[in-house]
Structure 1
Amino acid sequence: MAETTLAEVMVELAGLEDPRAREVNERHGDDHGVNLSRLRAVAKRLKTQQDLACQLWETGDTAARLLAILICRPKAFGRDELDGMLRAARAPKVQDWLVNYVVRKNPHAEELRRAWSADPDPVVASAGWALTAERVARKPEGLDLAGLLDVIEAEMKGAPNRLQWAMNNCLAQIGIEHAEHRARAIDIGERLAVLKDYPTSPGCTSPFAPVWINEMVRRQHGN
């Protein structure tokens, strides 16, 4: 029955394939053509099914892996299992969802954050920095924020794109959430000029850290 269920789901995912969605997704490095709202609707119907989630993941298909993330039990995975999954998750959306929807809710999240942040693979390291940025914003106790700024100052400018993006997010979160480090965070952002010219849609905030920090602080204070 489990195999039949997997087969049925794979057929359904194939039926959701949209060439225009694939074109947009592939520009961001994601090799699938399923509209994410439709994918979430499938997940809502299936509800939590850990065994099916594992089978979907094993297919290696990007849309199937995104669905697996939505229907799995985040706390059911072991540390090494998550480490292997992240290293196999080369599509950016799969990596982002795995980190945000699964690893963050797993008991091994802090251990993996430390290990991944220092990993020589920049894609793995970016996941560690994404978890660090989240901790900076939500649970900074025990973090060496000045030390994080030292690393960002030394390494962000030359980091590969996905790692650079995650480090920049961490820089911005330090500046937004921790007033005592705000001036230094803005100064680092100004000097490194990472994402300064990033195209930003009207009404959206630039990811350039000094602009991002100042705008979020302004909103927090209602100015």
Structure 2
Amino acid sequence: MAGTAESAQRAEIEELLAELAALDEPKVRAVNEKHGDDHGVNLTKLRAVAKRLKTQQELAVGLWATDDTAAKLLALLICRPKAFGRDELDTMLRGARTPKVQDWLVNYVVKKSKHAEDLRLMWFSDPDPVVASAGWALTADRVVKQPEGLDLDGLLDEIEARMKEAPERLQWAMNSTLAHIGIEHPGRRARALAIGERLKVLEDYPTSPGCTSPYAPAWINEMVRRQTAS
């Protein structure tokens, strides 16, 4: 019976891979490749596939084991986040080499796991900047939701010393931490603004009309303005 179930799952995975391949759009792929992603599936269509499948942990594990980015994204949408162990999540992150897969893994799975804080501490100072960026992303989240126990001044010290020269994905996560400290913690807002203004990280990042710039001083000021206005 076990062999039959495994064969059925392999067949389902092959069918899903074929379905995802059929959804691949050259224009979407071209845009994604500019951001380091290697798939061309419209994410709205991908989410529709996930909605049809609903939560299926074993299938998610099987999809993740493929070497297909779209399949990994689908896996993250149908998995049970709390079913993964700490070491399993660590291994998954280190194998998630494209930005969208890493982003979804951290935001849709790790943040919902009881291992989130252990992994934040493990990843935060990892020599691999991609792994470290996940630790900083979790730190940015904690700055907002559970800042008690965090050394906010120490974080600002590290950001001030390292963000300017950090690799892109790590730099982005550090910048998010800087902005959230400035937004959520008025006593450190002036310093956060000063660091952002001095380093000028993402100052010239193209921003669509109506969207908030990721440049920390602009981001902080706009969010504080909204808080004051509400």
Distance 1:48 1:85 in 2: 19
2:114 corresponds to 1:103: no
> Matches of residues 38-77 of structure 1 in structure 2 within 5 Å?
38-77=45-84
Greater mean deviation of Cα atoms: 14-23 or 42-51: 14-23
Measured in 2, the distance between the counterparts of 1:129 and 1:220 equals 25
Aligned match of 2:4: none
Q: Which residue of structure 2 aligns with residue 78 of structure 1?
A: 85
**Would you say 1:93 and 2:100 are equivalent positions?**
yes
Deviation at 1:159, TM superposition (A): 0.4
Unaligned runs of 5+ in 2: 1-7
Map 1:117-156; keep pairs closer than 5 Å: 117-156=124-163
Give distance in 1, aligned partners of 2:190 and 2:167: 26
Q: CA deviation at 1:5?
A: 1.4
Matched residue, 1:173: 180
Paired position in structure 2 for 1:159:
166
**One-letter identity of the residue aligned with 2:136:** W
The AA in structure 1 aligned to 2:32 is: N
* 3-state secondary structure, aligned to 2:150: coil
1:186 aligned partner? 193
Cα distance in 1 between the residues matched to 2:202 and 2:31: 21
Q: Which amino acid aligns with 2:79?
A: C
Distance of 1:160 and 1:202 partners within structure 2: 27
Tell me which residue corresponds to 1:7: 14
Counterpart amino acid of residue 138 in structure 2: L
1:78-109 deviations in whole A, cap 9, x for unaligned?
A: 11111111011011000000000000001110
Note the residue ranges of structure 1 that are not aligned, 5 or more in a row.
Answer: none
Q: What is the rounded CA distance, in whole Å, between the counterparts of 1:153 and 1:8 in structure 2?
A: 49
Matched to 1:8, the amino acid is: E
| Alpha-carbon RMSD | 0.8
Runs of 4+ in 1 over 6 A off after TM superposition: none
Out of 211, 218, 227, which is 1:211 matched to?
218
Which secondary structure state, in structure 2, belongs to the residue aligned with residue 157 of structure 1? Answer: helix
Residue-by-residue CA offset, 1:12-57 (whole Å, 9 max, x unaligned): 1111111111111111110001000000000000000011001101
In structure 2, distance between residues paired with 1:23 and 1:192: 31
Cα distance between partner residues in 2 of 1:76 and 1:7: 24
Q: Structure 1, residues 80-139: CA drift from partner, whole Å, max 9, x if none?
A: 111111011011000000000000001110000011011000000000000000010111
TM-score when scaled to structure 1?
0.98
Q: In structure 1, which of residues 19, 35, 46 is the aligned counterpart of residue 42 of structure 2?
A: 35
